[in-house]
Structure formats: C-alpha cells, structure tokens
Amino acid sequence: MVRKVTKAIFPVAGMGTRFLPATKSVPKEIMTLVDRPLVQYAIDEARAAGITEFIFVTSRGKSALEDYFDHNLVLEQDLKSKGKDELLEVLNATNMESGAIAYIRQHKALGLGHAVWCARRLIGDEPFAVMLPDDVISADKPCLQQMVEAYEETGGNMVAAMEVPNEKTSSYGILDTGQNVGTVVRAKGMVEKPKPEDAPSNLAVIGRYILGPSVLYNLNQKKKGSGGEIQLTDAIAEDIGNGVPVFGYKFDGQRFDCGSKAGFLQATVSFALAREDLREDLNQYLHDIVSSDRAAQ
Ligand code: UTP
C-alpha cells in the first residue's frame, strides 16, 4: 500500500534576482497576487491535498515570510473591537496551527536539489511533496490534490507536467517519455534545461512533486548538474535508473510562472478578474487601454 503524503517541503531560499530591487528586502514568496502572498496560495493548495506538516527551506533575509505565519494578536484584537468580522475571518484563515510549520536554513544557494536535501531529517523515511510557491496553478481541483489522488494508484515518484513550446525547453526540466498519452505518463528519463535540439520531448516539469525518500539518498551525493547547481531533476532521474518509476502528471489547470515578471503580471490580472469586487472596474480599464493602444497604432 502507498503511504499517505502528509509532509510538504517549500524551497524558498532562492535569491529571486529577477525581481530586484524588490527582493533586496521583500522575499519573492511574500509578493501579492491581488491581496494574498504567493505563499498563501501554495499553503492552501497543500492543505487541500491533506498536508499537515509544512517545511520551509529559507535563507538570510526571509524573516518576513516567517512573520507572515505568526498570529498577529494586536491586529486581531483591534479588528474584533471594531466589529470588523469579515476581515477577522480573512486573517484567521491564514493562521497556522502551532508546530505545523518548520523552518530550515539553506546556508548557500547551491540549487533546488540541495534545498530539498536540507529538509531530509524532517522527512525521514516517508513520501513527501515539494511545492515551489512561484508556480501558481489555478484549478477547480487544486493541482497537488489531483496528484495525491493519482499517486495513491501509482506510488513511485510523481512530477507535475505541462507541454511547453519547443523553444522554451531550456527553462525547464524535461521528461523523456515513451508514449505521451493520457494524464499519467511514465518517464524513461529526465533532463534539466536541455536546448530545444537536445530535448527528448516538450513535456516540462512544473513546481509540484511527490517524491520517495530514495530521492533524498540520491541527493546525498551532492552531484552538480546544469548551471553548476545541485539539481532536483538529476536526483529524480537517478531513481529511474535504479528501477523506481517516475510519472509525469498532466494536471488540469492553468499555471502561472510567478517567478518571472510577465507571468506575475498575467497572474495578477487573471486573479483580479476572477474577483467579483474587482472584475467590472478592471475589465473596463483593460478594455479602455487596449482600445487606445490599438487606436494609436
Ligand atoms: P529559481 O530558479 O526561480 O531561482 O528557483 P530564484 O532564486 O527563486 O529566482 P531568480 O531566478 O534568481 O529570479 C526555483 C525555486 O527553488 C528555490 C527558489 O526559492 C524557488 O522557489 N531555490 C533555488 C532554493 O530554495 N535554493 C536554491 O539554492 C535555489
């Protein structure tokens, strides 16, 4: 029987250089889509999938992230005394149970694989999820929940997968698949950031994983891969060679790359348009600027 996945690692120790100068003092994961920080979307998705232990791999300068999950008693008291019940509810939904969150430091940004490895002692000998908060996925059924349900049937390792244009393969881990049919695709191999001419397919790995402890053993070797970093993709690919299956899960939903400025802006517009309180005004504004832009051309 496949063991239940109750732990998730959130690697947030990267430097977020694409958002400088903001990320000089604001962690990327605290930046907001409308009024909710990126990390809140990831936490909500994890909870929906049955995760009860949340492990953040952080680094210097990320204290705002730790503060975000603290109860703010002064603010709560103030809202209560003023009868602002709706806001109080918004705030309460972000509170985490004591002891549910752990923070581990990655002392040097040696790569995503290394960040995950830093959490090994808190994982022990059980399967775990990895979630990258800058991949935001809008879906009727949250992506990790879809994956957990599929994983209960398959076991092994599972990565979220999405088809990308051929010219974009060098931005992703890419799956080498035999037949690419159906929602769950067994991988024959995985390559980190291949050039389009070297890519075995255009099925890219997105920031949601369900992995077995064997991946952590593989990471013990701390082998450097693409870009001189210790890559999670390489450690998962090694499992394939050792006979542990790896499945790509083609999730149902729209993924936004909020680690890039263009993706972040698209997500902001999309999430704002999904909000009843903002939709009408924003729609009108977008319509007006697109029309005046067209008229100017
Ligand atoms: P990115 O490749 O997006 O890097 O990392 P980054 O530092 O966050 O952003 P840029 O490219 O400089 O703008 C993907 C994920 O892996 C984590 C990041 O925090 C992000 O969630 N990561 C990356 C680590 O935790 N440690 C690392 O050493 C590298």
The closest-lying atom of ligand 1 relative to the alpha carbon of residue 111 is 28
Considering the domain architecture, whether residues 16 and 113 belong to the same structural domain is answered as yes
Considering the domain architecture, whether residues 103 and 56 belong to the same structural domain is answered as yes
CATH label of the domain that carries residue 79: 3.90.550.10
Q: Which residues approach ligand 1 with their CB closer than 6 A?
A: 11-18, 28, 57, 106, 109-112, 114-115, 132, 134, 259
The closest-lying atom of ligand 1 relative to the alpha carbon of residue 57 is 25
The closest-lying atom of ligand 1 relative to the alpha carbon of residue 260 is 13
The predicted pLDDT at position 61 comes to: 85
Considering the domain architecture, whether residues 61 and 77 belong to the same structural domain is answered as yes
Considering the domain architecture, whether residues 255 and 267 belong to the same structural domain is answered as no
Residue identifier of the C-alpha nearest atom 1 of ligand 1: 14
The predicted pLDDT at position 250 comes to: 97
The predicted pLDDT at position 54 comes to: 97
What is the 155 CA–ligand 1 centroid distance (Å)?
27
Domain span at 220: 7-259
The predicted pLDDT at position 17 comes to: 93
The predicted pLDDT at position 242 comes to: 92
Structure tokens at 248: 């790509």
Averages of pLDDT over runs of 10 residues in the chain (297 residues) are: 93 94 92 96 97 96 88 91 92 88 94 97 96 97 97 96 95 88 92 93 96 95 86 94 94 97 97 96 94 81
Q: What DSSP line would sit under 122-189, residue for residue?
A: HH-SS-EEEE-TTEEEE-SS-HHHHHHHHHHHH-SEEEEEEE--GGGGGGSEEEEESS--SSEEEEEE
Query: How many C-beta neighbours within 10 Å does residue 239 have?
Result: 21
The predicted pLDDT at position 114 comes to: 97
Considering the domain architecture, whether residues 253 and 265 belong to the same structural domain is answered as no
Residue identifier of the C-alpha nearest atom 7 of ligand 1: 14
The closest-lying atom of ligand 1 relative to the alpha carbon of residue 134 is 21
Number of independent structural domains in the chain: 2
The closest-lying atom of ligand 1 relative to the alpha carbon of residue 229 is 28
Total residues belonging to the chain: 297
Considering the domain architecture, whether residues 219 and 72 belong to the same structural domain is answered as yes
What is the 154 CA–ligand 1 centroid distance (Å)?
29
What is the 49 CA–ligand 1 centroid distance (Å)?
24
Considering the domain architecture, whether residues 243 and 277 belong to the same structural domain is answered as no
Q: Domain for residue 1, yes or no?
A: no
What is the 15 CA–ligand 1 centroid distance (Å)?
6
The predicted pLDDT at position 223 comes to: 83
What is the 13 CA–ligand 1 centroid distance (Å)?
6
Kindly give, in sequence order, each residue whose CB lies less than 8 Å from that of residue 64, ignoring residues fewer than 6 positions away.
26, 27, 30
Number of helices (H) and strands (E) in the chain: give both, helices first.
Answer: 11, 13
Mutate to test the pocket of ligand 1, among 12, 30, 31 (most ligand atoms within 8 A of CB): 12
Residue identifier of the C-alpha nearest atom 9 of ligand 1: 16
Considering the domain architecture, whether residues 62 and 169 belong to the same structural domain is answered as yes
